[in-house]
Amino acid sequence: MSSSGPSEPTGQAVLASLLRGVLRGILKPRNRAGRPVAAQRRWLEKVARIARVPGSIRIAKGSLRGIPGEWVEAKTRRESSRTILYLHGGAYCIGSPLTHRALAGHLALVCKARVFVADYRLAPESPYPAAVEDAVSAYRGLLESGAEATDIAIVGDSAGGGLTLATALSLRDRELPLPSNLVVFSPWTDLSLEHLGAEPPGEAMLNRDWLDECARFYAGTASRYDPLISPVYAQLAGLPPTLVQVGSDELILSDAERLSAGIEAAGGRVRLSVFPRRWHVFQLHAGVLTDSDRALREVAEFLDATAPPC
């Protein structure tokens, strides 16, 4: 586990404060219980358009086994067989390939990979198990297209982080080939909210009432303790090497900590990196915030270090 980072330069501290303020001012107030989900989706897509999308990537619509999404990769990608299946966040109710295009682009460049951002079905229109079924189908589509499991990593943020774990658990239980690695940013792994503490002063995006509503929409008639809804309650043995990144200032910090402890207790290989003074899915600010770039470099190093030998 890593929880220390270099001292923060004054310029970065000011920039971080501004970014946190922007999120609190334009995103957090609109992600609230009782607000129409369609309006939340539209607003998030508007906000996402200001993110810094790298100019050196190309984007193409695509699908895997009928699951729509976007392919993102460098325009001049070096020879590499690495593929990332990216599962976006948004509490299982909002978010899309568009909202995560910038992050996917930076991942593609740093990790020298092609990235497929799956446009999986969302609640409340499509509650559990729709998202898991779609993610598993997209992964199987990668295999059927010729990708080797040993060259695939599944990466996700927030709810997409929980979905990353649920997908890997489903693949394991179906005895399908597992990806080489898992990477999760600020994973939401306990939709029961039973262990959720008080909102920390530095929280920039989430609040309990909104999470509770989205969890209710997603779980539908199923139990929130179902291990494919809340993977922290799953039997976690047999998973691929897993990197967990989280900020110290976020409401669901304990989800990341408990997940990492559970994987370790089950004999798995896991690395937990806690970034001081950072908020929920701060990796979205890659290309702007130094810690976000450092986090993605850690992802690339982790994928390289845990890749199966050729």
> pLDDT tens digits for 289-305?
999 999 999 999 999 99
DSSP, collapsed to helix, strand or coil, labels residue 5 as coil
Q: Using CA atoms, how far apart are residues 24 and 5, in angstroms rounded to an integer? A: 24
pLDDT at 8: 72
* Residue linked to tokens 């992802």: 299
- Angle, helices 159-173/130-144, rounded to nearest 10 degrees: 60
Query: Which runs of consecutive H residues, i.e. helices, occur in 241-288?
Result: 253-265
Q: Using CA atoms, how far apart are residues 183 and 239, in angstroms rounded to an integer? A: 12
Whole-Å CA distances, 51 to 60, 63, 98, 116, 285: 18, 24, 10, 19, 7
Residue of 82, 187, 183, 101 whose CA lies nearest to 142:
82
Which of the residues 213, 250, 273, 298 is marked catalytic? 250
Whole-Å CA distances, 45 to 72, 287, 292: 18, 19, 21
Q: Is 285 a catalytic residue?
A: no
- Give tens-digit pLDDT for 133-181: 999 999 999 999 999 999 999 999 999 999 999 999 999 999 999 999 9
Query: Which runs of consecutive H residues, i.e. helices, occur in the chain?
Result: 10-26, 37-48, 101-111, 130-144, 159-173, 208-219, 253-265, 290-306
Which tokens sit at 69?
């999404």
Whole-Å CA distances, 275 to 248, 250, 279, 281: 6, 10, 9, 11
pLDDT at 269: 98
Q: Over 80: is that where the pLDDT of 6 sits?
A: no
Which of the residues 96, 158, 180, 186 is marked catalytic? 158
Q: Using CA atoms, how far apart are residues 117 and 304, in angstroms rounded to an integer? A: 21
Which tokens sit at 203?
């929280």
CATH of 10-306, one of 3.30.300.30, 3.40.50.1820, 3.30.450.20, 1.10.150.20: 3.40.50.1820
Q: Using CA atoms, how far apart are residues 191 and 231, in angstroms rounded to an integer? A: 9
Which of the residues 88, 100, 106, 280 is marked catalytic? 280
Instruction: Measure the N-to-C terminal CA separation of the chain; round to a whole number of Å.
Output: 28
- Give tens-digit pLDDT for 46-90: 999 888 899 999 999 999 999 999 999 998 866 678 999 999 999
Task: Kindly calculate the radius of gyration of the chain based on its CA atoms and give it in whole angstroms.
Answer: 18
pLDDT at 11: 84
Q: Over 60: is that where the pLDDT of 223 sits?
A: yes
> What average pLDDT score do residues 181-205 get?
95
pLDDT at 50: 80
User: Which amino acid, residue 264?
Assistant: E
Beta bridge partners, 69, equal: 62, 118
Backbone angles phi, psi at 246, to 5 degrees: -155, 155
- Angle, helices 10-26/290-306, rounded to nearest 10 degrees: 90
Q: Is 280 a catalytic residue?
A: yes
- Give tens-digit pLDDT for 253-279: 999 999 999 999 999 999 999 999 999
pTM of the full structure: 0.96
pLDDT at 4: 44
